[in-house]
Structures are given as structure tokens and as C-alpha cells.
Structure 1
Amino acid sequence: MRRLTLAVLLLLTGCSSGGADNAAGFTAVDLTATPEALATHNDLLVIGTRPVDHPELVTRSADGRISNSRLTPATPYGKEAHWYGITSDGTTITGVGGERGGAHGNVRWSAWTGDTRAITEKPQAFSTFGGYGAGELIGPVRTAAGPLIIGTWQSAKAGLDIAAWTYAADTWTRQPSAGTVLESSQELLRFPLAVTQNGDGALVVGWQIAKGVVSAAVWQYDGTTWTTATLPDGDAALAARCWNGTCQVVGRAKGKLAWWSGTGADWRKITTPDVPVNDDMTLAAPVDVNGTPTLFVDHGGVKMVSEKDERPADGPSGAVVAAEKAGGQVFVIAGGRLWRLS
């Protein structure tokens, strides 16, 4: 997993003018720090920001009020963390932070729990997320049974397994992957890239390689059991979001955008406009825009891509690292700024 890459801040305010006739207008949301991650907490937008050298957490109400949450780190690396992911069940906010350090420059992880008033780093034993056999963390996700953190860990058979940590009594505990579809083997290596809530459970997306054949794949958790499915005609699934009983998964196939819709074992590939997606590119999860699943992507400028068409986004510029819908409004982080769809 790579740390979110942010572009240089742009000196833009309000909506841009002079865009294409079918361009969607956006308004810049003024923040005092660089936004890195987004989540929804009831009708509030939760924004993980980083001023220069430390994390902050702020919320935005539907009427535009910005409020700061009191953030209390407990470790030296927690004080310097970037946000890798934030999630909420409407009551409790869970976050994952990380910053590189130590002799080998590995990411030192921090886990955060709280609400809109205050969020606190809960220190863990070094061996919880680090040490011999450690892989990387992708981010947190909420399920009906409680929060999970998804990442990777050294496999007993080959490579890395997909790993899931559960939370109880301020402690994160890695669950066994052996004997489940999360386990890698010499015949099949698994690589998770993103996670999202799916009903009462979770959906992990990524890619796998078996007998030299690379394919996009998903791993689904229903609160008890993990299952897996291969996505048709794809190299990797990079991001996903589920709503109304269906998941929208975006990724790449032969250097182009690939989009799948479905759940369980039933997935179909959607025909979309021709958008290049190279091996180093990340995608933000699609969101519902007026009833249409929509992807925001930097493609000769930020574009709104759906199954039907591709429209310019008038205002945002640069790499899109997150998208979220809160209080009936759509937000994106692009070029190191937060934007609201007008």
C-alpha cells in the first residue's frame, strides 16, 4: 500500500468559470490543512487532514460548518501520522494512520478510536501491526459485528495472506487467515488493495495471480465467513463502494479503466468511456451522484465518469485521492484540496 500522494495546493477559490457546456460545477471547501481521507458520520463529512507534520480530524455539517475534533496521539509516530483510512458507524469513528520511520523505513501504524468530539490513538503492542511477518495495512471498515482493519501478513505457505484485525477492549487482534479464502499458497497469491463496507459485512478488492495468470478479485465478509470471486476480464480491482445491495468496483484491464457491478458470486463488467489507468495509478471509490454510480478520475483534468458518459469537473484539478457523499452532498479530494459538487 502506498501513502496517499498529494499534489501541490492550488490557488483556487469557489467555482471555476469558462468550463465546457456539460461541465459539473464544484466549490472549493476552505480548510486550514491538507485533506487526506474522507468518511461519513451520519450526515457529517469526516475529514482526516494533516497541516504539516501531524494529523488532525475535522467535520463538516450539511450547512457548511467546520468543527475540529480533539485528537490525542499516544505514540511518537502517532503524532506524525498520515491518514490511511477513516470509517464510522454513526456513533464511533475508527481511523488508521501511518508514518515511515525506523532503521528500515517501514510504516509505523497507529489506530484511532473516538467520535466527532474527540478521537484518541489506542497504542498497540509492536507485534500487532509490525515486526517479523508484518505486511501493510489498507484501512478500517465497519461491520455489524464491529470494526475491522484489513491488511496483509506473512503467509505460512507463500507470500502474504490477506489479514483482518478485530477490535475489543482497546486492543486489535489479528484473526487467522489459514484455511480461509484469505490465505495465499504456492498456486495462488492474493493482493488486497482496498476495503469498503458491504451491508453488515465488508468487501475487499485487489488482484491475484495463479499459474502466471493475473486477475482482478474480491473477497467478501458477511460477518461470519469469507468468500471470494474472480472479476471478469480484469487485471486489478483498485477501489469499491456498496449501496442499495450492489457494489461498484473500479480497477484496470490492459491499461484501461475497468468497472464491475454486483455482489456475492454475481458480477458483470460494465462498458465505460475509454479512460487510461496505468499500473501506478490509484482510483477513488465511486459515489452515487443523482442516482448514477460515478467515478471521479484525473483524465486530462478531473472527469466524472459513469457507464453512460464522461463529463468535465469544473474546478478540481490534479490526482483524485478520495470521494464521499455526506448529507446529500458529494465531495472529492483532488490536487490536495477538498471540493464540493455544486
Structure 2
Amino acid sequence: MRRLTLAVLLVLTGCSSGGADNAVGFTAVDLTATPEALATHGDMLVIGTRPSDHPELVTRTKDGTLSNSRLTPATPYGKEAHWYGLTSDGTTITGVGGERGGAHGNVRWSAWTGDTRAINEKPQAFSTFGGYGAGELIGPVRTAKGPLVIGTWQSAKAGLDIAAWTYADGTWTRQPSAGTVLESSQELLRFPLAVTPDGDGALVVGWQIAKGVVSAAVWRFDGTTWTTAALPDGDAALAARCWDGTCHVVGRSKGELAWWSGPDWQKLTTPEIPVGDDDKLAAPVSVNGVATLFVDHGGVKLVSEKDERPANGPSGAVVAVEKAGDQVFVIAGGRLWRLT
């Protein structure tokens, strides 16, 4: 599981900082394996889990019924994969898995496609995601034109480019980054960290460095064209989610939590929450109409733009947050929790 010092910041309308009497209640969702990734499939929750040595996919309906999808790996590393990300357009589920191996201990990637009944690994040529020039995969994202996988690949100019793979007929194909805002150069290096759906397209967030100056940045895909923007007073953007025409991006600024609201990318005022260089954040969600972040700050808490409340139940690192229908779910401390 990825380390996360921040846990759950969840703030509802009218909330304020407080103790146990102000805590927000959660109920544990009992699973037979460790949850690693979440996605929504209509009103259904999709949970990527992993027992001791292989991946599984579990679905949860609105009434709480849990079912296992039939999962069919096609490669040795697919049989052992951890979930790096899941996405769905309501019909098709797309997943990215990975497990380290080989002489250099690099991640060996696996790509998965299916639905709630069955999801299959689609074997790819080794050079699709690996081999000379390979970087990392950030994860999959659904768009109106089909799923993308976002990651990095060796740049023709300097460092790594941000890379996007498209999917057709069982094959993932990396699209050219040269000549776009995804391309790195000797003057500007780009580093993606997370991706989320944004209308018909996608929003990638991360950081960049130009002439020794580090800044948080976003790269936005409208379905046809990529554009980019630097975020004010930020060192790195770590996670994002878009709804109702607004994208909420959270990250780090001078060692503390930073929160931006797009598309105009205003920096919001937030509680003073420490965020270290190695810390991760889960994407905010809407709770009772309020943009809410879940983080581990002296325990799992619920924080909005200006407030902070403790969570009653979850503890430990927050790995993922998802909203399925009107229900909010959190992976924290290696367990799945539902906001009550």
C-alpha cells in the first residue's frame, strides 16, 4: 500500500474543528482481501482487492451486496498484480495492474478490460508499457472517446514526457507527446502524479520544474487538445476530482496542504495541514454539496476549505476515496469504510 501521512479531511456544511463529540461516523465494509483501488460503475462501487498473491475485483451494489467478478489473468505478472487504478464509463471497466520483477525490479504492467461479471487481462507487447524508454504508469481514466492510460515515457528532448495511451481492438497504443504540452524539454521538465475524468476528457495533475523553479501544474484534455497551466503558490498537485463543472485539485505548498479550484485555478484557504515530500493525497469528493478531503492528520479526519472534523472508525493511511451514488467510501489503514 502506498504511504500516506495525511488521512481523512472531511468537512460538511456548518462543520467546525472539534473532538469526539463532533466526529463523523463510518461503518466498516467487510472484505476478504486488502482493498487497493476504487471506482464507480453507475451507482455500483468497484473495488480492486488483493489477497496475499493475486488480484481480485469486487463489486458492491447500493444495498450493500458484494460480488466477485471473474478475473482472468493472461501473463505471469498479471497473476500477481497489485491494482494501480480502475475506471469505468458505466459499461466497461478498465484497470491497470503492476508487480515488480525482472533483473532490475521494474514494475511489469498489466491492462484489464471487462465488466462487473468478468474482467480479463489483455496481453500487450512488452514494448507497449515497458522496455527501453519506459517510465511509469499513473493509471487509467475514462473519456467520451474511450479510456486512456496516463504515464510517462522517455522524451526526445530531456527527461520524460507525459504519455497517453489509447485503446482499440484489445491493444493499447501510445500517442505522440512531441509538439504538445505533454512534452518535456531542457527548459521545462514535467512530472504527472494523478489523473481524473474531466467532462468529456481528462485532467492530469503533478509538478514541473523550469529554470530551477518548481511549481504545481495541471494538464487538461478536452477530448481533442491538451492544454496546461501552472497552479499559483504550489509545489506539487497530488490528486484531483471534477464535478459540476469545477475541478478540485489538492497538493502541497511549502510543506502544507494546498487546494485549488478550476478552471480558473484559484488557491483556496484551508486548515494548516502538513504535507511532506513523500506524502500522497486521495482526491476530494462532494459530501452534502461540500468539497471534502479525507486525510490522516493526527488520525483520519474530514476537512473542507476551512474546517476539520475527526472520523469515527477509520485509521491509518488513506489510499482512495470514491462516491458511488449518494454513498462515500474510503480506503484507510488497509480497510474499506463507508461514511454514515
TM range (shorter): over 0.9
Match of 2:9 in 1: none
Task: In structure 1, give the amino acid aligned to 2:80.
Answer: E
Contact 1:161 1:184 in 2 (8 A): yes
Matched, 1:155 2:186: no
Task: In structure 1, give the amino acid aligned to 2:194.
Answer: A
Q: How does 1:1-342 map to 2 (within 5 A)?
A: 4-5=2-3, 20-263=20-263, 266-342=264-340
Give, in whole Å, the separation in 2 of the partners of 1:221 and 1:199.
Answer: 9
Contact 1:6 1:335 in 2 (8 A): no
Contact 1:57 1:68 in 2 (8 A): yes
Task: In structure 1, give the amino acid aligned to 2:214.
Answer: V
Give, in whole Å, the separation in 1 of the partners of 2:314 and 2:2.
Answer: 17
Give, in whole Å, the separation in 2 of the partners of 1:102 and 1:135.
Answer: 15
Match of 2:10 in 1: none
Deviations 1:24-61 (A, max 9, x none): 00000000000000000000000000011000000011
Deviations 1:54-108 (A, max 9, x none): 0000001111000100000000000000000000000000000000000000000
3-state secondary structure, aligned to 2:183: coil
Deviations 1:233-272 (A, max 9, x none): 0000000000000000000001000000012xx1100000
Task: In structure 2, give the amino acid aligned to 1:100.
Answer: R
Contact 2:195 2:204 in 1 (8 A): yes
Contact 1:4 1:36 in 2 (8 A): no
3-state secondary structure, aligned to 2:22: coil
Contact 1:261 1:270 in 2 (8 A): yes
Aligned residues: 327
Contact 2:239 2:281 in 1 (8 A): yes
Give, in whole Å, the separation in 1 of the partners of 2:122 and 2:2.
Answer: 22
Give, in whole Å, the separation in 1 of the partners of 2:258 and 2:267.
Answer: 7
Give, in whole Å, the separation in 2 of the partners of 1:289 and 1:311.
Answer: 13
3-state secondary structure, aligned to 1:283: coil
TM-score where L is the length of structure 2: 0.95
Contact 2:3 2:279 in 1 (8 A): no
Give, in whole Å, the separation in 2 of the partners of 1:57 and 1:206.
Answer: 28
Task: In structure 2, give the amino acid aligned to 1:319.
Answer: A
Contact 2:192 2:205 in 1 (8 A): yes
Contact 1:88 1:94 in 2 (8 A): yes
3-state secondary structure, aligned to 2:218: strand
Deviations 1:110-148 (A, max 9, x none): 000000000000000000000000000000000001000
Give, in whole Å, the separation in 1 of the partners of 2:2 and 2:53.
Answer: 15
Instruction: Please state how far the C-alpha of 1:5 moved relative to its aligned partner.
Output: 4.4
> Which 4+ residue blocks in structure 1 deviate beyond 4 angstroms?
none
Give, in whole Å, the separation in 1 of the partners of 2:104 and 2:137.
Answer: 17
Contact 1:147 1:166 in 2 (8 A): yes
Give, in whole Å, the separation in 1 of the partners of 2:226 and 2:199.
Answer: 14
Instruction: Please state how far the C-alpha of 1:6 moved relative to its aligned partner.
Output: 8.7
Q: 1:234 to 1:6 in 2, by over 3 A?
A: closer
Instruction: Please state how far the C-alpha of 1:327 moved relative to its aligned partner.
Output: 2.1
3-state secondary structure, aligned to 1:157: coil
Instruction: Please state how far the C-alpha of 1:274 moved relative to its aligned partner.
Output: 0.6
Task: In structure 2, give the amino acid aligned to 1:233.
Answer: D
Contact 1:187 1:211 in 2 (8 A): yes
Task: In structure 1, give the amino acid aligned to 2:298.
Answer: G
Give, in whole Å, the separation in 2 of the partners of 1:327 and 1:6.
Answer: 26
Give, in whole Å, the separation in 2 of the partners of 1:243 and 1:45.
Answer: 18
**RCO greater where, 1 or 2, for CA within 8 Å and sep 6 or more?**
2
3-state secondary structure, aligned to 1:142: strand
Q: Which runs of 5+ in 1 are unaligned?
A: 8-18
TM-score where L is the length of structure 1: 0.95
Contact 2:4 2:280 in 1 (8 A): no
Contact 1:61 1:327 in 2 (8 A): no
Identical-pair percentage: 87
Give, in whole Å, the separation in 1 of the partners of 2:274 and 2:54.
Answer: 34
Contact 2:109 2:129 in 1 (8 A): yes
Contact 2:3 2:280 in 1 (8 A): no
Task: In structure 1, give the amino acid aligned to 2:304.
Answer: S
Task: In structure 2, give the amino acid aligned to 1:23.
Answer: A
Task: In structure 1, give the amino acid aligned to 2:328.
Answer: V
3-state secondary structure, aligned to 1:191: strand
Contact 1:6 1:336 in 2 (8 A): no
Deviations 1:258-300 (A, max 9, x none): 000012xx11000001100000100000011110000000010
